[in-house]
Amino acid sequence: MSKVKYYYDSETLSYKKIERKKRRTFKFISLFLIAAALFSFLFVFIGGQYFESPKEKALKRELSNLELQFDLLNKKMEEAEMVLANIEDRDNAIYRLYFEANPIPEEQRKAGFGGVNRYKRLEGYDNSQLIVNSNKRIDILLKRIVVQSKSLDEIAILAEEKEKLLLAIPAIQPVSNEDLTRMASGYGMRSDPFTKLRKMHWGMDFTAPRGTPIYASGDGVVVRADNNSAGYGNHIRIDHGYGYTSLYAHMFKFVAQKNQKVKRGDLIGFVGSTGRSQAPHVHYEIFKDGQRINPMNFYYGSLSPEEFNKLLRHASVENQSLD
């Protein structure tokens, strides 16, 4: 109930009712409400610039924690990159070099990704740069790991091949040192035992008693075991692959037969003096791609330095060969 208010009219000398105008009241209230709304809006808006709500505080803390974690991840990535760079260096400078593979160029190892922008979905945020950079970095890291892994696969194959090659190369003497009477004659110009003329002696002569074992000097396949080559008498040829063949002449008896697979050190026959020979010995030759080469260069792995020097000394004497 609103009170009825009066006022004293001095002209009429009487009390009169105060009549409130409804429209004015309404206007007044509206104005008040608008002012209040405006004021609270300004309060919230301006106040919000200087004061944070608890929720905002929590979000900010979370964001700075995420940024910190990103920094830590980037540091760890840097460590991973360093370890990988070290492996790549060793790969190029040692492993690939050792197995005669070309080094993988830096640009190929560290190439990024061209073409379409793979990181579009990460753009348009305040911290896009941080996230895009980290993504790029880890993508390159992953690619480098794949390249490195492929390189190691290649090296594993090359190592296996190299092992086969090392086993195939005719690298030991055909007669063991204990059985050897002497290294009678080496590769080079020698006096012919029959004509006494100087001519090329294409192999090495190892003197040993008749019946002394002769061994295959490397892994391979016997391609000939016969006496159908002039002068060699009973002889064996072993194809070692990789362009190498070894020949053992003047045998007394064969043990290995044609087409037989042999390993280095396998017994293939016995010393004799068949063919054009002056005394029991093995005439031993090595072919590389069809050309006869000096067998002296192949004993590096199987003889001690003293034995090698002794053999070299004997092989270098320009004496008479046994043929």
Q: Using CB under 5 A as the criterion, which residues of the chain lie in contact with Zn ion when the complex forms?
A: 205, 283, 321, 323
First to last CA, the chain: 146
Nearer to Zn ion, 88 or 205 (CB): 205
Residues 289 and 196: beta-carbon distance below 8 Å: no
Name the residue nearer to Zn ion (CB basis): 92 or 321.
Answer: 321
CB 222 within 8 A of CB 260: yes
For residue 227, the Cα-to-chain-centroid distance in whole angstroms is 49
Residue 205 Cβ, how far from Zn ion at the closest point, in Å? 4
Least spacing, CB of residue 193 vs Zn ion, in Å: 9
Which is nearer to Zn ion, 218 or 295 (by Cβ)?
295
Min separation Cβ 217 and Zn ion, Å: 15
Q: Which is nearer to Zn ion, 92 or 217 (CB)?
A: 217
Closest distance between Zn ion and the C-beta of residue 304, in Å?
25
Minimum distance from CB of 86 to Zn ion (Å)? Answer: 53
Its sign, for the CA torsion 109, 112, 113, 114, is negative
Considering the complex, state which of residue 168 and residue 271 has its C-beta at the smaller distance from Zn ion: 271
Q: How far is the CB of 186 from Zn ion (least distance, A)?
A: 9
What is the total residue count of the chain? 323
Nearer to Zn ion, 147 or 208 (CB): 208
Handedness of CA 287, 291, 296, 302 (dihedral sign): negative
Q: Where are the alpha helices (DSSP H) in the chain?
A: 22-50, 54-90, 96-98, 106-110, 128-168, 305-316
Rounded least distance, CB 247 to Zn ion, Å? 10
How far apart are CB 311 and Zn ion at their closest, in Å? 15
CA distance to 27, 30, 39, 96, 112, per residue, from 19 (Å): 16, 20, 32, 107, 86
| Cα–Cα distance, 55 to 45 (Å, whole number) | 16
218 vs 233, beta carbon nearer Zn ion: 233
In the 3-class helix/strand/coil scheme, how is 119-172 assigned residue by residue?
CHHHCCCCCHHHHHHHHHHHHHHHHHHHHHHHHHHHHHHHHHHHHHHHHHCCCC
- Looking at beta carbons only, is 91 or 205 nearer to Zn ion? 205
Question: Which of 219, 233, 248 lies closest to 278, judged by CA?
Answer: 233
